[in-house]
Amino acid sequence: MIAMDDDIRLYGAARCHKSRFYQKYLADKGICVKFLDVEKDRTAARELHGLYSSGKLNFPTLVIKGKKLRDPSMRELDRWLIKKGAHHKRKCR
């Protein structure tokens, strides 16, 4: 089970423009996201490896309440945020 702070996780890298784009997009919507830099955090890298059978570091990958999205379009991301009930603004810790 994913803890409340982990409802939305973004596996990416600080140097990745798409990772930064998703962080800003979600922040602008007032949605908290836990960013996991797979180039600096070995645990995060192992978690990401475990999400894909290829064993590659496929980032950016968002996990929204258990739903894995690899580099989603804004339309797809918004649809899953709503479907998983994660589109509400809430305080970030």
Tokens of 86: 């994660």
DSSP H helices in 1-93: 17-28, 42-51, 74-83
Q: What is the mean pLDDT of the chain?
A: 87
Given the candidates 3.40.50.300, 1.10.1200.10, 2.60.120.640, 3.40.30.10, the CATH classification of the domain at 4-83 is: 3.40.30.10
pLDDT at 1: 29
Confidence of residue 5 (pLDDT cuts 50, 70, 90): very low
- How far, CA to CA in Å, does 80 sit from each of 11, 31, 57? 17, 13, 22
Residue 59's pLDDT is what? Answer: 92
Mean of pLDDT values over 34-60: 93
pTM (predicted TM-score): 0.85
The pLDDT assigned to 70 comes to 96
